[in-house]
Amino acid sequence: MCGIVGYIGKNKIKEVLLEGLGELEYRGYDSAGIAILQEDNFSIFKAVGKLENLRNKTKDFHPEGFSIGIGHTRWATHGKPTELNAHPHVGENSYVVHNGIIENYQELKQRLQAEGFNFLSQTDTEVIVHLFESHLKALKEPLKAFRATLDELEGAYAVLLITKSAPDTIFFAKHGSPMLIGIGGDEKHFASSDTPLIGLCTDVIYLHDGENGYLSADAVELFNESYEKIDPVLKPLPSSKLSAQKDGFRFFMEKEIYEQSQVITDTLMGRLGEAEINFEELDSELFVGINEIKLCACGTSYHSALAASYLFERYSKIRCSVEIASEFRYKQPLMTQDTLFVVISQSGETADTLETLKMAKKAGLKSLVICNVDNSSMVREADASILTRAGIEKGVASTKAFATQMVVFWMLSLYLAKQRASMTSVEIAEHISLLREVPSTVVVKDELHEKLRRLSKRYLHGHGFFFIGRDVFYPLALEGALKLKEISYLHAEGYPSGEMKHGPIALADPELFTIALMPTNLLYEKTKSNVEELSARDSTICAISAREFDKADDFIQIQERSHYMHEFFEMMVVLQILSLEISVRLGNDVDMPRNLAKSVTVE
C-alpha cells in the first residue's frame, strides 16, 4: 500500500513528482505530499484526500534548476488521514517517505522521545527520520547514519530519505515493499512500480529485498543487506503508456470490462495447440512428484482460485485445496513436498500472498505464480510463473485480471489433464475449441449494458444482496458480491445456492435481493429449486440465465451456450456491469472506492 516517487535532476521536478504520484494513486489516496530540496532549502507540501488537492496547493510553486525530491500517496495504516500523518515526515533537517509497516516503531518512538525528539504524527514512519537524525548526531556521516537506521528497523519497508547533510543525494532501502530506480539520461527516478517511469526512463533497476544505497547526480550506489557493494542490473523499460489511459470510457473499471475480449485473446495467444496446451514458460519437471495443488490468494484472486479448484479436480484429476493467504500464514499449515504451491495475484505484490509463497519455498515446496505483473515480487520469488497478460489494471475493483486468471486456470487444468492422462486428446481438443470462443462470450453488447443501467435503479436500497450459485458459479457469486460491495458500499454476500436453506433464508423478504446465477449447462434444476425456495419466501429475485424463469422479478437473459464455462464468462460480465451501474447511480467513485487501495502491500 502507498506509492512513493523520487527524482534527481534539472527538469520540472514538481511536475515529475506529481505525475508520478498520479500513476500510483491507485495504491492509496488518503493524502499525498512532496518534499523538494534545492541547495539548502526544503519546500514541502501536503494535502489530505485525492492528489488533486495537492496539485492545487502547489500551483504557484515553480522550482527551477537542479533539485532532489520525494513524494508519497498514502493509504493510512497508523493514524488517520490527516495532513500531519501525511508523508513526507520531517526531522530537524531531513524528510522521509515510506511504504510498508515498521513493526517495532512503538519501542523506537519511546526511546527517541526519551532522547528529546518531538513527534508530530501518529505514524510508524516518523520514527525513521528521527532515528536517522539521532544516528547522524553520533556518527556524523549520513550514509553511516542511514545504515544504522536500517539496522534497527523491523517490518516491511521501501524508504526514501533526503537530508540537508547530503543535499544532492537520495538514500533508499527496500525490504518487503516494492521499489525500483529509473534512469533517463542524466535524470534519476524512484517509483513503487514501473508505470510512472514509462516515457521518462529508458532503463530500470528492480530492487530486491535487503538492497539499499544512494543516488546522486552522478552516482548510483547499490549495496546488499550486509552493505557490500553490488552492480546494478539495468533492464529496458517499455515506452508506451497508451494502455494506461481511459480511452473515452467514464471509468478505468468500465474500460477494463470492455477490454476483456482483447486481453483474453492475448492470454490465449500462442498457448493453444490442436490437442494440447503450451505453456512455454513451464518446465514439465515442475509437476513431477506432485500429488496435490494448493492455491493461495486474496480477494478476487482467491475467487478465481476457488473456481479453479473445481476445474483441477474435474479435468486434471488432481487433489486441490484453496487457502485465503491471510489465514494460511498463521495456521501452522501442514506442507508436504508432493504439493505444488500456487499463488495467484494481479499485482504480484499483495503482502499476505507473497508471504505464503516465501513460507512454501522455505518448506521446500515447488511453487508457481499466476500473475499479471512481470517482474513483480511474486514472479521473482516463485520457481515458475504464468503471466495473465491482462495489461495494466487501474480500477481498484478487479475485472479483467479475474477474467484472464480464469482463462489461465482453464488452460492449466487441461495442460495437467494431458500430463496425467486424465482426459483424452479428443476431449482436450474440444475444450481448446471452447477456449477459442471465450473472447466472444465477454464482448459487451450495447443492449445488455443499457438494460443493466436501467435495472440498476431498482437495486439501490434493501437490507442486503445474496449472490447465489453452484459449482464454479459459487465462486463467481462470491466475486459478484465482492464487486458490488467494493464500489456500491451495499451489503452483499456470495453463497452456495444449496446452502441458503441452512440459515440465510431466514433473511428472505422483499427487501432481500437474490442475484441468482442459473446456468443451463450445469445443475440447472438443482439451482432452480433453491431459487424457488427463496422466491416462495418473498425475496426479490434477479435471475441471470439463458432460460426464462417465471419466478424472477427481474430477468437478465444471456445467450444459449453449449458449455457452462461460456455461461460463466458471460455472467461474469453481467455482474461486473451491474455493480458498476449501481455504483454510478449512488454517486460513488468507481475507480477509487473509499477505504480501498489497488495493491495491498501491508498485511
Question: Under the criterion CB under 6 A, does residue 193 sit at the interface with ligand M6R?
Answer: no
Per-residue DSSP letters for 367-382? EEEEESSTT-HHHHHS
Instruction: Tell me, residue by residue from 344 to 373, as one string, x for binding to ligand M6R by CB under 6 A and - for no binding.
Output: -xxx--x--x--------------------
Instruction: Tell me, residue by residue from 486 to 525, as one string, x for binding to ligand M6R by CB under 6 A and - for no binding.
Output: x---------------------------------------
2 in catalytic set: yes
d(CA 427, CA 451): 37
- Residue ranges in 259-381 assigned as alpha helix (H): 260-268, 299-311, 325-328, 351-362, 377-381
CB of 396 to ligand M6R, least distance (A): 5
**C-alpha grid cell, residue 247:** 480511452
Question: Under the criterion CB under 6 A, does residue 398 sit at the interface with ligand M6R?
Answer: yes
Please, which residue, 13 or 298, has the CB nearer to ligand M6R? 298
* List 14, 418, 485, 598, catalytic entry: 598
Question: Under the criterion CB under 6 A, does residue 396 sit at the interface with ligand M6R?
Answer: yes
* Nearest alpha carbon to residue 597 among 400, 399, 354, 395: 395
**C-alpha grid cell, residue 156:** 516491511
Question: Under the criterion CB under 6 A, does residue 342 sit at the interface with ligand M6R?
Answer: no
**C-alpha grid cell, residue 517:** 446465477
CB of 368 to ligand M6R, least distance (A): 15
Please, which residue, 398 or 456, has the CB nearer to ligand M6R? 398
Question: Under the criterion CB under 6 A, does residue 592 sit at the interface with ligand M6R?
Answer: no
- Strand-pair category, 3-9 with 187-191: antiparallel
C-beta nearest to ligand M6R: residue? 299
d(CA 110, CA 595): 30
Q: What is the 3-state secondary structure (H, E, C) of 110-167?
A: HHHHHHCCCCCCCCCCHHHHHHHHHHHHHHCCHHHHHHHHHHHCCEEEEEEEEECCCC
Size of the site for ligand M6R (CB under 6 A): 16
CB of 372 to ligand M6R, least distance (A): 8
C-alpha separations of 483 from 172, 212, 407, 492, 574 in Å: 37, 39, 19, 9, 11
Please, which residue, 180 or 590, has the CB nearer to ligand M6R? 590
Question: Under the criterion CB under 6 A, does residue 601 sit at the interface with ligand M6R?
Answer: no
* List 2, 201, 296, 542, catalytic entry: 2
d(CA 484, CA 504): 19
- Strand-pair category, 512-518 with 464-469: parallel
d(CA 12, CA 547): 60
Q: Return the residues of window 286-305 that contact ligand M6R according to CB under 6 A.
A: 298-301
Please, which residue, 135 or 598, has the CB nearer to ligand M6R? 598
Question: Under the criterion CB under 6 A, does residue 600 sit at the interface with ligand M6R?
Answer: yes
> Catalytic residues, which ones?
2, 598
Residues making contact with ligand M6R (CB under 6 A): 298-301, 345-347, 350, 353, 396-398, 482, 486, 596, 600
